[in-house]
Each structure stands twice: as C-alpha cells, then as structure tokens.
A and B are shown apart, each in its own frame.
Chain A
C-alpha cells in the first residue's frame, strides 16, 4: 500500500528568505561601487602581483649581517622597554580609574566622569596619540611610552571597571558589616574576586603594547618601528624581512610565556 501525498502538503524545510537575498545583493552592489571609488581594479591587482614577485625576490633571503642584527637587537630591546614601561604605568593609572568607573562602588557622578575619561582615552589610535607626544616631548622612546600609556589606561580601565561591576556584592557586604573602611573593603572584598581576571588583562595589554610598540616608531616614537621604517625607506627590503620575522617569533614566544603565567594565577 503506497500513499502518494500531494506535492504542496510537503513543507519546504528551507524556504527562500527574500530579505536575506536582498541584503546579499545589496552587499555585492556595495562592494562593486566601493571598489570603483577606491580605484581597485583587476588590472591593477595583476600588475601588483608582478610587482609583488619582484618585491619578495628582493626580500629573500633575510639579511643576517652582524651589523644589521646588532641594529635590530637594539631596536627590539627598546621596543620591549617601551612595552614594559607603558604597561606598568598604564596599569597603575588604570587601577584607580577603573575602580572609580565601576558603577556599583562609586557614586554616579564620579563613575560617569571616569567613564567619559576612559572613552576619550580610547578614541584615538595610539599612532595619532604618538604624533602629538612626539611634538610635546620630542622624538624618541619617551613619546612612544606615553602614547602607549594612554592606550593602556583606556583599555585596562574599561575592562577592569566591567570586571568589578560583575563581582558578587555579598562578600563586599560581609566585609562592610564587620565595620571595615573603604580601603579594607577593596582589599578583602573586591580584589580577591577580580585578581585573576586582572592579571589576564595585564598580560593581554603587555602583549598588545609589544605589538603596538613596533608601530609607534614609524611616527618617531622609538623602538623597532623606527629601525623598520628606516630600512624600508632605504629599500633594504631584506632587512625589513628579518625584522618582521624577529617580531613574529618574539610575539609567538610571548604567547607561550603568557599562557604559563595565566596558569600560575588560576
């Protein structure tokens, strides 16, 4: 006995969604329009590929002369110093800022002021901040450190405030009930709850500062970025490749170290 169902009673499991199709069409049209505005064309891309081949040819093999390696080591050490100092000072300043910005511990006017300050610090790209600091304190590592301190304050301050807002108030109330002052409440009630996450933020920020310290040198903020930009402007592309490889290796090494450190604090 076989039953044949009329076709239309079979429900289509995946009906066509016209809104999504229209959105996709719009996306394709936008890509074509924007590519036209930016003068991105296939011909240019093909010419570029040819040029890219020559470029890679001049990059390989990486330059391993002792003199260049010495320059790169100096630049990388300076980048490391910039990253460490920017993280240390940025985090120290971000601690009170984040604490004030947490809405569950401080009065509304204080937290809104701190939040506005954090938003302001986060608006500009570190490179733009670096340009302004180069004008203010001159060329060199200090401008880079100051620019990254601003970036670290904004980022860690925001995350720290969010972490504090998520804590359980029960422990805070318990400490308050013993008659503890504000500082004791912070140290005994708040800090233990956010310490592990805070260490995570600091490690992340150090990682991020290390990456960014390779960039502030391009606008005069010191570090490996300055070495890289000089090599680039002198068309020493093989030195550029060596520097890029060193940066990638150091950042990968740091990733291994940071997972170790996170494990210690878990």
Chain B
C-alpha cells in the first residue's frame, strides 16, 4: 500500500522507484508496528489466565442465561426506585460538572488566560479528573460522605469535569476574534466581553457537550451502586452477590431499556436544537 509501482526510465536504463513516504517516516511507522507487536506478544505470554476456569466457561454461560429467565418481578419496586435515583444522579452530576468545569475551561483556554503556567495547571486538573475512573471517584466519595446518592452525584460531577472542561476549553479557543475585538474597542469590561462576546459563540458547543455527557453519565451512574454510591447499581450488586440471577436479569433489562431510550432522546434533541 505504501509503494507505488516502479516506473522505468525508457532507454536510459535508470530505474526510478517512487515511494509515498520519506525513509524517516517509514522508519517511524515500522518502529511503531514493531513495538506494538512486541507489546502484544509480551502481554500474551505473561498474562495470568487460569485454564481450569476455562473448561466449564460454556456451561457457566449457559447456566447464567438459564437462571436469568424468567425475571423475578417481585424485585421491580427496588429496581424502579434505584432507577429514579440513577437518573437524578446523572442529571444533577452533569449540572454540577458544568458549573465546576466552566472556570477550569476558561483557565485552560489560551486566548483567555494568557499565562502558560495557569494553562498547564488547568490541564493538570482536567487530566486528573479524566484519569481517575468514575467508580474510583465514587469509592473516594463514599469514604468521605458515606454510602448513598450524594457520593454518586459528586463522583459523576468530578469525573465529568475533565471531559466537559477539555471540550469547552477547545470551543472557547476556536471562538472568532472579530466580535471580541469589537467589544474591546467599544470599551467593554472583561465580564461583558465574556458574556456578550464569547458566550454566544460557545453556547451551541456548551449545550451539545452537556447533552453528550448526560448520555454517558446515565450509563456510568447505573454502575456506581456497585461500590455503594446509590442508584440501580445497588440493586444489581445485591442481586449478583446473592446469586439471584433472575433479579439481576431484570436489572440488566431495565438498564438496557433506559440506555437505549436516553440515546434516542439525546439524538432527537440534538437534531432538533443543534
């Protein structure tokens, strides 16, 4: 794919070969390929897999699905209240993330904050927020605030700061200079420049990021209950640790339906508004 067919110089005996990439580029690519291959082989050879567990995997899987059906509908009230809590957790967490991420996004945007040092600091906050998973955030907040939806909401909010802040910061950096210069020339204060110059340009991106993150957060808040942070995950955790797979099946079916519904809703809103 990287090599075009050779063309021979007619009569001169010179053979010219055309290549798409420079030797340096090819070297870089081969280096990446080789390193990836080594990494995969290393992982395959050293990862610990217990073969005894594998012999009965098909039987275990069949057993799993057999025990899930029919669903245990007596469990439904618990599932429903967990579901309501999950949806509120996702929504409140997203709103809180928007509030917390906006100042960080302003700090991270190089056209607003002129100090490279502050940009780096904001970037550090954003990366830390994203590297720590929502479940691990939830563990920390459960240790601080005790089990319940408060810990879940804060976990969702802190995990979303990185995502929202990064995308929002990029949107602010892409804002056009024209309206900003006009406002500056008119003698507008920094606050007025932000509200009347930047905000109208960033607003569509802001709401689409919020919607996108809400969609993700509904999925994420459904599992926070596994570490005690409230929501439908608590029901799932109870069911699986009691090995009541018919209850777990009901929870999974509920999560499936809700996730599909939120995806339909968000895509509807996106096409209509944005």
A247 x B131 contact (CB < 8 A): yes
B25 x A264 contact (CB < 8 A): yes
A228 x B149 contact (CB < 8 A): no
Distance of A66 Cα from B101 Cα, bound (Å) = 38
B49 at the interface (CB under 8 A from A): yes
Distance of A232 Cα from B236 Cα, bound (Å) = 21
Question: A45, A81, A140 — which one has the most chain B CB atoms within 10 A of its CB?
Answer: A81
A159 at the interface (CB under 8 A from B): no
Cβ-closest chain A residue relative to B219: A125
B110 at the interface (CB under 8 A from A): no
| Least distance between B242 CB and chain A CB atoms (Å) | 13
Cβ-closest chain A residue relative to B20: A192
B148 at the interface (CB under 8 A from A): yes
B32 x A124 contact (CB < 8 A): no
A218 x B47 contact (CB < 8 A): no
Interface bits B223-257 vs A (CB < 8 Å: 1, else 0): 10011001000001000100000000000100110
Question: B39, B43, B85, B222 — which one has the most chain A CB atoms within 10 A of its CB?
Answer: B43
Distance of A82 Cα from B31 Cα, bound (Å) = 22
Interface bits B32-68 vs A (CB < 8 Å: 1, else 0): 1000100110111011111001100100110010000
| Least distance between A231 CB and chain B CB atoms (Å) | 10
Q: Interface size bucket, A side?
A: 35 or more
Chain B residues positioned under 8 Å from A139 (CB to CB)? 53
Which A219-266 residues have a C-beta within 8 angstroms of B? 219, 222, 225, 228-229, 232, 237, 240, 244, 247-248, 251-252, 255, 261, 264-265
Given contacts A34-B91, A191-B1, A264-B25, contact A255 B127 (CB under 8 A): yes
Distance of A187 Cα from B226 Cα, bound (Å) = 45
B136 at the interface (CB under 8 A from A): yes
Chain A residues positioned under 8 Å from B57 (CB to CB)? 136-138
B135 x A215 contact (CB < 8 A): yes
A78 x B47 contact (CB < 8 A): yes
Cβ-closest chain B residue relative to A265: B29
A64 at the interface (CB under 8 A from B): no
Among A1-9, A36-44, A101-109, A164-172, the one that faces the other chain is A36-44
A38 x B29 contact (CB < 8 A): no
| Least distance between B83 CB and chain A CB atoms (Å) | 12
B92 x A31 contact (CB < 8 A): yes
B133 at the interface (CB under 8 A from A): yes
Given contacts A137-B57, A140-B50, contact A38 B144 (CB under 8 A): no
Contact of A128 among B25, B44, B149, B252 (CB under 8 A): B252
Given contacts A40-B153, A78-B47, A136-B64, contact A261 B223 (CB under 8 A): no
Distance of A38 Cα from B128 Cα, bound (Å) = 27
Contact of B150 among A44, A142, A192, A225 (CB under 8 A): A44
A96 at the interface (CB under 8 A from B): no
Contact of B149 among A38, A218, A248 (CB under 8 A): A38
| Least distance between B21 CB and chain A CB atoms (Å) | 10
A131 at the interface (CB under 8 A from B): yes
Chain B residues positioned under 8 Å from A252 (CB to CB)? 127, 131
B183 at the interface (CB under 8 A from A): no
B143 at the interface (CB under 8 A from A): yes
A69 at the interface (CB under 8 A from B): no
Cβ-closest chain A residue relative to B216: A125
Chain B residues positioned under 8 Å from A73 (CB to CB)? none
B227 x A218 contact (CB < 8 A): yes
B148 x A39 contact (CB < 8 A): yes
| Least distance between B226 CB and chain A CB atoms (Å) | 6
Distance of A35 Cα from B149 Cα, bound (Å) = 10
B89 at the interface (CB under 8 A from A): yes
Distance of A178 Cα from B146 Cα, bound (Å) = 68
A141 x B49 contact (CB < 8 A): yes
A140 x B88 contact (CB < 8 A): no
Interface bits B141-157 vs A (CB < 8 Å: 1, else 0): 00111101110010000
A100 at the interface (CB under 8 A from B): no
What are the 4 closest A-B residue pairs judged by CB atoms, nearest first? A138-B53, A38-B149, A264-B28, A81-B43
A selection of 5 A-B contacts at a CB cut-off of 8 Å is A38-B88, A128-B252, A128-B255, A142-B53, A232-B143
B residues near A (Cβ < 8 Å) are 1, 25, 28-29, 31-32, 36, 39-40, 42-44, 46-50, 53-54, 57, 60-61, 64, 84-85, 88-89, 91-92, 95, 127-128, 130-133, 135-136, 139-140, 143-146, 148-150, 153, 196, 219-220, 222-223, 226-227, 230, 236, 240, 252, 255-256, 259-260
A residues near B (Cβ < 8 Å) are 14, 27, 30-31, 34-35, 37-40, 44-45, 48, 51-52, 55, 77-78, 80-82, 84-85, 88, 119, 123-125, 127-128, 131-132, 135-142, 145, 187-188, 191-192, 211-212, 214-215, 218-219, 222, 225, 228-229, 232, 237, 240, 244, 247-248, 251-252, 255, 261, 264-265
